[in-house]
Amino acid sequence: MTLDKTIDLLNEKGELRIIETPLDIYLEIPHLAYAEVKKPNGGKALLFTHPVDHKSGKKFDMPVVMNLFGSFRRTELLFGREVEGVAEEIEKLLHMKPPQGFKEKIGMLGDLFAMKDIFPKKLKTKGSCQDTVIQGESVDLYDLPILTTWEEDGGPFITMGQVYTQSLDGNLVNLGMYRLQVYDKNHLGMHWQIHKDSSHFFDQYQRAGKKMPVSIAIGGDPLYTWCATAPLPYGVNELLLYGLIKKESPKLVQSITTPLFIPEDVDYVIEGWVDPEKMVLEGPFGDHTGYYTLKEYYPALEVSAITHRKNPYYLATVVGKPPLEDKYMGWATERIFLPLLKTNASDLIDYHMPENGVFHNLIMAKMKPLYKGHAKQFMHIFWGSGQMSFVKHALFFGEDAPKLTNYEALITYALNRFIPKCLFISEGITDALDHSSPESLIGGKLGIDFTASYSPSAPVSIESSELLEKMRALIPEVRGLTQYMRHTANPITVVSVNKIRPLKECMSVLEELKSLVRIVVFVDEKKNDIHNPYMLIWRVVNNIDAQRDLYRSETIVAIDGTLKTVLDGFTREWPGDVECTPSVVERLKQLSLWDLDIKLENKYQL
């Protein structure tokens, strides 16, 4: 389904909001999309029909499409089927057994015949994505409405690019999604992180001293874009998922100036070559963690051609503090990849990535514990499985636990059986976007085993105002305090501080309050509302390194969720929050386009 047909479908289903007011590709369009996805149920898909660049005075002919996947309903519309049905189909394939008898053989033949449409089909003709071909001096990335999302971004970035690469020998191909910074009219930054498949391919070209071909597609069937995010094993073509889901072969054509094949019906293709000898400073960029990722050197693509369909659309997304469009894309990934995760962990029942854990910061799983240490075994399996290895905090529950998305019941269940002994601290690789570990790419991991049934004793319950005074007497930096889940055996006490020394110097004095507290979480007074649990979880799981920031005794666990500085012996640069530019928000309100409820603005700390 091409992008123009997708837009027609969403409009027909009442899932499209059309913005005809001319809006700037610098901040205005992405800010409005950022507000839209924060609405209940993800708002609507957005079609900006008149994008402009006020800085250059340019008006663009091609509309900008955003928030395409931004609801559960739209995600299934774009898949063309129920997401759970895809997972069931994959599970069936994984557990296919030799047929017993004639009827089963006939049935298996039908299943195998349906598999023929999984594989991509290479066409010998040109595709509709090559209706217009631009090469040489005519190449100009600024002719595309590429957005600048945040005020402190290093420049415009392509955020929904399908990046097609292949190994040096051409035997393996990869489809990934990486942010792509526009440096000038014909150069893009390639933010493929060290652990990603394209980076592994790049290493091969670098060792051989050869330039690496890259083709970047934008638009087309939205499922191509989702496939680019799929965490498949190294060397497996992500477009196989397209064939499995759609029951039709993706049709590919060769790029004009590279040997790479791309779907014939995408809206844009940007082709080029990466010189392995040249690295360029990329960033900063406000990312899906809700923080800016800092400047770092990455390879750069020299664009050799830009091709596009007649009347193309430009597809983009917005990143920042949750919830975002990736919440819904991640939900589809979570459901579809559960059967594959079970191949390494057969007693896994389910798993869930809460949106405010921004995927790699927090995961929860339900399992059938069969023996002592089984949950710890699962922690190691998760931390050793593909992109799951980036997860910093993993919580494991037994089969009698409430549904993983029933947060209130699940937290009550967990806190009524938790003791500090449940914690397991390890070390492993971290996502390149993680900013809190003492060094880049490696840091602490925290696992919590809620499968064991302990019977902790509850503390004496007192009012928060009284507890605040007692806490201030011990730790003068304390500014505010509130308590959550006071009906459980392990209430959570959240404390705001104006930090003037490392908080680890304060942790041991909490023992004087051991009759009153069980779990204590410290956050900075600045930029935190201690009465906003949604954003507190986002902040704390972003900001902690389990090896450095946890204190535990026999009865108390304390967590330092504050930002780290040289005061803490932290030598890396700590990034700032992603925040909307107030003047841009005010202009969108004056145009009667920004209609997000003020309560949601405050909740999500825009």
pLDDT at 113 (0 to 100): 46
In a domain, 51, yes or no: yes
pLDDT at 184 over 50: yes
In a domain, 105, yes or no: no
Alpha helices in 139-236 (DSSP H): 197-208, 222-227
- CA nearest 236: which of 118, 111, 114? 118
CA distances 222 to 15, 65, 132, 240, 481, Å, are: 15, 11, 21, 15, 46
**Whether 377 and 516 share a structural domain:** no
In a domain, 412, yes or no: yes
Q: Give the chain's mean pLDDT.
A: 94
Q: What is the pLDDT of residues 440-497, one digit of tens each?
A: 999 999 999 999 889 999 999 999 999 999 999 999 999 999 999 999 999 999 999 9
**Whether 443 and 469 share a structural domain:** no
**Whether 48 and 188 share a structural domain:** yes
Characterize the bridge pairing of strands 132-135 and 121-122.
unpaired
- CA nearest 521: which of 500, 544, 505, 498? 544
Q: What is the pLDDT of residues 237-265, one digit of tens each?
A: 999 999 999 999 999 999 999 999 999 99
In a domain, 25, yes or no: yes
**Whether 470 and 439 share a structural domain:** no
Map 489-541 to HEC letters: CCCEEEEEECCCCCCHHHHHHHHHHCCCCCEEEEEECCCCCCCCHHHHHHHHH
**Whether 254 and 389 share a structural domain:** no
In a domain, 405, yes or no: yes
CA distances 537 to 13, 93, 275, 483, 542, Å, are: 35, 37, 42, 14, 8
pLDDT at 196 (0 to 100): 78
**Whether 353 and 496 share a structural domain:** no
**Whether 430 and 473 share a structural domain:** no
| Rounded Cα–Cα distance for residues 600 and 229 (Å) | 28
- For 403, the domain range is 342-450
| Rounded Cα–Cα distance for residues 445 and 363 (Å) | 12
143 is an active site residue: no
Specify the DSSP class assigned to residue 234.
Answer: T
pLDDT at 108 over 60: no
Measured CA angle at 559 (ends 545, 499), to 5 deg? 95
pLDDT at 193 (0 to 100): 80
Residues in Cβ contact with 169 at an 8 Å cutoff, skipping those fewer than 6 apart? none
CA distances 481 to 80, 392, 452, Å, are: 48, 26, 31
| Rounded Cα–Cα distance for residues 127 and 297 (Å) | 35
Q: What is the pLDDT of residues 58-91, one digit of tens each?
A: 999 999 999 999 999 999 999 999 999 988 888 8
Could you give the percent of the chain with pLDDT greater than 70? 96
**Whether 503 and 392 share a structural domain:** no
Give me the DSSP letters along 38-100: TSGGG--EEEES-EEETTTTEE-SS-EEE-TT-SHHHHHHHHTS-HHHHHHHHHHHHT-----
In a domain, 303, yes or no: yes
369: its two tokens: 């514990």
> What's the pLDDT band for 129 if we cut at 50, 70, 90?
very high
> What's the pLDDT band for 197 if we cut at 50, 70, 90?
confident
Last residue of a domain, one of 450, 474, 503: 450
pLDDT at 388 over 60: yes
pLDDT at 111 (0 to 100): 52
pLDDT at 518 (0 to 100): 97
**Whether 233 and 165 share a structural domain:** yes
Could you give the percent of the chain with pLDDT greater than 90? 89
Q: What is the pLDDT of residues 22-59, one digit of tens each?
A: 999 999 999 999 999 999 999 999 999 999 999 999 99
The CATH number linked to 293 is: 2.30.110.10
pLDDT at 370 over 70: yes
pLDDT at 92 over 80: no
| Rounded Cα–Cα distance for residues 148 and 150 (Å) | 6
Map 271-308 to HEC letters: EEEEEEEEEEEECCEECCCCEEECCEEEEEEEEEEEEE
How many domains does the structure of the chain reveal? 3
pLDDT at 109 (0 to 100): 44
pLDDT at 526 over 50: yes
**Whether 395 and 512 share a structural domain:** no
- Helices 83-94 and 72-79: angle between axes, nearest 10 degrees: 60
**Whether 127 and 57 share a structural domain:** yes
Amino acid at 100: Q
Last residue of a domain, one of 419, 450, 481: 450
The CATH number linked to 504 is: 3.40.1670.10
Last residue of a domain, one of 427, 450, 473: 450
Catalytic residue (choose from 197, 265, 287, 545): 287
> What's the pLDDT band for 304 if we cut at 50, 70, 90?
very high
Q: What is the pLDDT of residues 572-602, one digit of tens each?
A: 999 999 999 999 999 999 999 999 999 999 9
In a domain, 606, yes or no: no
In a domain, 98, yes or no: no
**Whether 263 and 143 share a structural domain:** yes
Q: What is the mean pLDDT of residues 395-418?
A: 97
Segment among 8-22, 99-113, 499-513 with least mean pLDDT: 99-113
> What's the pLDDT band for 112 if we cut at 50, 70, 90?
very low
Q: Are 75 and 328 in contact (CB under 8 A)?
A: yes
Q: What is the mean pLDDT of residues 333-342?
A: 91
Map 9-49 to HEC letters: HHHHCCCEEEECCCEECECHHHHHHHHHCCCHHHCCEEEEC
pLDDT at 73 (0 to 100): 97
Q: What is the mean pLDDT of residues 90-100?
A: 63
